[in-house]
Structure 1
Amino acid sequence: MSKSVARLKSMKKVADKVTHNSKLRTNIPAGMAAAGPPLGPMLGQRNINIAAFCKDFNERTATMKPGIPLPTRVKVNSDRSYELIIHQPPASYFLKQAAGISRGAMEPVRETSGKITYKHLYEIAKIKSKDPPLEWKPLKEICVMLIATARTCGIEIVKDLDPKEYGEFLQERKKVIEEQKKQLQEKREAKMLRTA
């Protein structure tokens, strides 16, 4: 009997050492962390001081252009302290910036939303290689990942890009986007009429 009691006590000591950390994964715009939804409730559920977190995040991202989406990882400790890890902006953000577009293609297989060169791709890969999940991956693997992301955005990767031709392409693309927006608005209105 005493052996089993001693065993239970030792097991209890092991169980007491287990910590249950809460993790939060979200995108927060640079310099724009605010106590309101959706960030405030996520932090509140994890017992983090919302005002202190927002101040900390905004100070750490003050040198960046406001509004850039930043993948953020927050590890919450049992004493309400936290570890804040801010990654580089998503690959799709960099690809769209390099292509000079604000949105990707609605149908990436059928349409091209923009174009970038292999040099752009390589430079983006170098930036993304600083992210903690990617820092041990070779640049070649990161480039392959970026090519896949570019395809889902409808961005074509080319050897050379003529600025004049590309400017004309972007002007034509604006017309296509306006037409797509118009079609989406008509679909929404038709759906609202059916549900009313």
Structure 2
Amino acid sequence: MAAKKIKTMIKLNLKGGEATPAPPLGPTLAQHGIPIMDFVKAYNDRTSGMKGNVVPVVITIYENKTFDFETKLAPVSELIKKELGGIKGSAQAGKVQAGRLNKEQVKKIAEKKLPDLNTTSIEAAMKIVEGTARSMGVKVES
């Protein structure tokens, strides 16, 4: 049997276990002819243990109107917010500080996110986390 031919790939950030056919998900899948409720049910089943967290998903849509999807770990910014107790980032990053992270917290986040990052080095992963923190207005203490 020949491999399925990929039509497109869609990347979305959805709440774990709480996907609905409402925008942005419904219209995005509908334009590719995907049965929305089939995806919603499968996604909610797979992410039921991650309720309330943002779970990135990559949906692969094939020419024959079938789909597969892969869930990823929460975005680094969400992990930073969770580590800081739910604070939002600063509206004026670089001027107004939104919080502080120490190196141990940065390492903890980097270790958690490492499988999804484009590196295998924990030091490089820590630099990625530090850069995201700085862009959110979070100070990283040494």
Relative to the length of structure 1, the TM-score reads: 0.67
Unmatched segments (≥5 aa) in structure 1: 1-16, 160-196
Contact kept, 8 Å, 2:9 with 2:59, in 1: the verdict is yes
**More strand by proportion, 1 or 2?**
2
**Secondary structure, in 3 states, of the residue corresponding to 1:130?**
helix
Per-residue deviation, 1:83: 1.6
Indicate which of 52, 66, 71 corresponds to 1:67. Answer: 52
Q: 1:51 aligned to 2:34?
A: no
In 1, the alpha carbon distance for the partners of 2:110 and 2:7 equals 32
Per-residue deviation, 1:30: 0.6
After TM superposition, where is structure 1 displaced by more than 4 Å over at least 4 residues in a row? none
Aligned pairs, number = 140
- Counterpart amino acid of residue 88 in structure 1: L
In 2, the alpha carbon distance for the partners of 1:18 and 1:98 equals 41
Indicate which of 109, 112, 115 corresponds to 2:97. Answer: 112
**Secondary structure, in 3 states, of the residue corresponding to 1:53?**
helix
In 1, the alpha carbon distance for the partners of 2:106 and 2:4 equals 44
Q: Which residue does 2:84 correspond to in 1?
A: 99
**Secondary structure, in 3 states, of the residue corresponding to 2:38?**
helix
Q: Which residue does 2:25 correspond to in 1?
A: 39
Aligned-CA RMSD value: 1.8
**Secondary structure, in 3 states, of the residue corresponding to 1:129?**
helix
Indicate which of 124, 127, 138 corresponds to 1:141. Answer: 124
Relative to the length of structure 2, the TM-score reads: 0.91
In 2, the alpha carbon distance for the partners of 1:55 and 1:39 equals 13
Contact kept, 8 Å, 2:20 with 2:40, in 1: the verdict is yes
Q: Which residue does 1:185 correspond to in 2?
A: none
**More helix by proportion, 1 or 2?**
1
| Structure 1 residues 58 and 116: alpha-carbon distance in aligned structure 2, compared to 1, 3 A threshold | same
Per-residue deviation, 1:150: 0.3
Indicate which of 90, 99, 112 corresponds to 1:127. Answer: 112
Unmatched segments (≥5 aa) in structure 2: none
For residues 98-131 of structure 1, the C-alpha deviation after alignment (integer angstroms, 9 at most, x for no partner) is 1224310111111110111111111111111122
- Counterpart amino acid of residue 152 in structure 1: S
Which structure has the larger Rg over C-alpha atoms?
A: 1
| Structure 1 residues 140 and 19: alpha-carbon distance in aligned structure 2, compared to 1, 3 A threshold | same
Per-residue deviation, 1:37: 1.4
Contact kept, 8 Å, 1:88 with 1:128, in 2: the verdict is yes
